[in-house]
Every structure is written in C-alpha cells, then in structure tokens.
Amino acid sequence: MNLSEKSRNHVRKLCVEISDRSVGSKGNRLATQYVDREFKKLGLTTSQPEFDVMDWQKEGADLICGNQKFEVFVGPYSRGCDVCGPLYCASTLEELEKTDATGGILFVYGDIAKEQLMPKNFVFYNPEEHQHLVYLLEHSQASAIISATGRNGLLTGGEYPFPLIEDGDFDIPNVFMTEEEGRALLKYLGMEVRLISRSRRIPSKACNNIAKIGTGEASKIVITAHIDAKKGSPGAIDNATGVTVLLLLAELLQDYAGKYPIELVAFNGEDYYAASGQMNYIASRQGNFKDVLVNINIDGAGYYEGVSVFSLFGLTEDQQQLVHKIFAENADIEAGIPWVQGDHSIFVQFGRPAIAVTSKWMLENLETQSVTHTAKDNISIVNPDQLVSIALAIEKFVKGLI
C-alpha cells in the first residue's frame, strides 16, 4: 500500500468507520486504540496517559410557554432538568446585574449572547468579560438558562445557533435557540414557562496517544494533532486529517536516528470544554517545556480546495530557512498568517517555537465558514494526497534540523 492509500484509509477509519470521537465517547476510545495499534505496528514506543472526563448524551429539550412550543437545543455538557417558573430576561450586562431570577427561568439574548462563553476552568484563554458574565449567570439564581444566539464562526465554527454555554463545570441547566425563536419568546416575559431538557452527564475516561522515536538528551521535536472531535461532527478536517499526518509521519520516521528525539502526540481535548488531554500533558511536564526544540501542530489540514499553509511562531533562523526551502520546493505548501485557535498555542505560550499546519481555505474563511464542528466536516471535503504532501514536508523539516 502506498502512502496515498494509507492516508485515505486512516481518514476513513477515523471519521467514517468510527462515527463519534468526542472526548469520553466509545468512538473516542476506539480512535485512541487505533492510533496506539498503528504506532505499535511500526515498532514505536507508545504510552496512553489516561484521565477523567465527562461524556454527554442529549435527547432533546422542550420549552413550553402557554400553548406554544419553542425549538430549543440542549447546551453541551449541561445538566438535564424539568423546571417551571416565570421567565426573566436580560440582553445587557446592566440588565443581567439587576436580575434576580430566583425560582424562574432566565432568558439571555443580544449583546451578552453574541459569543460563546469560555468554560469556567479553561485556562488558555479566558477574557475577563466572559468570567464576569459566567459569574452573573451563576448568581442569577435561575433554575435554568435559555440563550438565543446568532452566528460566530471564529469561536464556534459553523454552528447556528451556537451554544452560549458549553461547559461541564457550569451547573445550571441550559439550552439555546435561534435569534428568531428568541424574539418570539420575549412576549412571554414574566409569564410561567416550563423547560424540560433530557441531557445527561456521563463520567468517563480518555487518554492521549504518545509515541517516541529516537533517543538521546537533545531537545525534542514535538509533533501534535488533536484526535477528539465535536459531538455531532465526523471531524474530518477537524482533525482526522491531523491524526492521519501523525500516522504517516510515524511511518516515514520509524527508522529516524537523528540528533533530536521525536515525540508524536495525539491530544485528546482540543474541542472539549476542559481541554483535558492538553492539561494532562502540561501537568506531566510540570509546566516545563524547555526541552522542546520546536512544535509542529496539524489542525484543519487537507481541505480539498486550495493549498496547505504553515504558520510560523518564533522559529530560529535555521528553522526558518529550512521552512522557506520547503515553501520553495512545494507548490502546494505556502506561508500562512499566524492563528491562535490550536494546540500550538500551548507551546507558543511556553515560549517555544512552533509551526501550525492547516488548510489555506480554512485559515482564510475562519470567521465565515459553516463547516467546522458540523456534519459538513466529513470525508467528502478531504484530499488525502494533501496529507501525504504535508507529511513529506514535515519529514524533510525534521531531518533537516541541525
């Protein structure tokens, strides 16, 4: 089997045969088992550090106001509920600050629902504005929260409406709806409404995949791709393709005996509220990243239209030269603008050089595309040959480091 066929097979395995790779799900476990098996077949030393996570199941929700039923969606990782009470609402911080929704159901919309709130315990990026909103929501004393949201590609991909809250550490049951439904709901302000949400949190386990190639005391080349996907999405471009590049690299580098040991890491948690795989990895290093020579992170690569892009973060002169040689030699790989929504940010935050690999189309359409985190992110939009080309370029880079 040539690399192109292998690439195709890995992608198919990860996002067709396995149908759900959300953290803690059965599919997630099947995917990490698959990657470990593939690494081991090539004779690599592997480990699968495990951690506690929360899986989540939803069976819909109903919002009933008088004779009217509204279409609402269960907030990811929310608790379920069956609650009745008067409807309170707030669209600005000032309104929310004044709202005591004790015994009632709180409806938030407009200004305070314009972007998804970062999870309470998410450490990598958490604006004060979000923390304050979460604080106010938790102190509203509402027995449930309904939000009406629009579109926000940058933070939530292609989902419409998007969940305002996606946080297993936020304990007030919550649902979300479209802005249109939200406008219709406003006329029930102060009236008795009932919300039933059949949402369930399920304690589970998940693991990262780590494979080591080469030995020695020199700094490491850490190549990463997240293996988890959003629930409800096959996660083809996000990020079965990244994991496929990792597996192709395992193949290409299995006999590598260069100066710098290589660590291949499939992170389990990039699209998960608690980023548990990333937190586990950082904890296992005790926050010490000094031994990382460079990180290469693949996320969103292999889109069927257009070329791949490598975005560079703090590379040394030598590393930059090497990458520019790759740009010159590969018509389908170009320099990309910096972007932060990926696991390379961890390495950058710890002051290490990094290369983020993605599709030019994804990078250019980050804010407007409606693919990421939806059913549209499936195998039909993947070009497996682009993944081979990326793997070969990374191999060249790794072997070219002096």
Q: Which residues form the interface with Zn ion (CB under 5 A)?
A: 238-239, 299
Instruction: Report the C-alpha gap between 231 and 168 in whole angstroms.
Output: 14
Q: Which is nearer to Zn ion, 120 or 373 (CB)?
A: 373
Rounded to the nearest whole angstrom, what is the least distance from the CB of residue 356 to Zn ion in the complex? Answer: 11
Residue written as tokens 């189309």? 361
Rounded to the nearest whole angstrom, what is the least distance from the CB of residue 270 to Zn ion in the complex? Answer: 5
Q: Are 263 and 214 in contact (CB under 8 A)?
A: no
B/e letters for 131-155, b = 16+ CB within 10 Å, e = fewer, are: eebbebbeebebbbbbbbbbbbbeb
Rounded to the nearest whole angstrom, what is the least distance from the CB of residue 155 to Zn ion in the complex? Answer: 13
Q: Which is nearer to Zn ion, 145 or 363 (CB)?
A: 363
Rounded to the nearest whole angstrom, what is the least distance from the CB of residue 238 to Zn ion in the complex? Answer: 4
Give the CA distances from residue 331 to residues 92, 192, 264, 307, 365, in Å, rounded to whole numbers and listed in that order. 49, 63, 26, 8, 21
Rounded to the nearest whole angstrom, what is the least distance from the CB of residue 286 to Zn ion in the complex? Answer: 26
Of all residues in this chain, which one has the CB nearest to Zn ion in the complex?
A: 238
Instruction: Report the C-alpha gap between 302 and 307 in whole angstroms.
Output: 8
Q: Which is nearer to Zn ion, 239 or 276 (CB)?
A: 239
Q: Is 228 helix (H, G, I), strand (E, B) or coil?
A: coil
User: Two tokens at 167?
Assistant: 């946080």
Instruction: Report the C-alpha gap between 15 and 31 in whole angstroms.
Output: 9
Q: Which is nearer to Zn ion, 101 or 228 (CB)?
A: 228
Rounded to the nearest whole angstrom, what is the least distance from the CB of residue 135 to Zn ion in the complex? Answer: 28
Nearest of 89, 141, 144, 78 to residue 112 by alpha carbon: 89
Q: Which is nearer to Zn ion, 239 or 359 (CB)?
A: 239
Q: Which is nearer to Zn ion, 178 or 239 (CB)?
A: 239
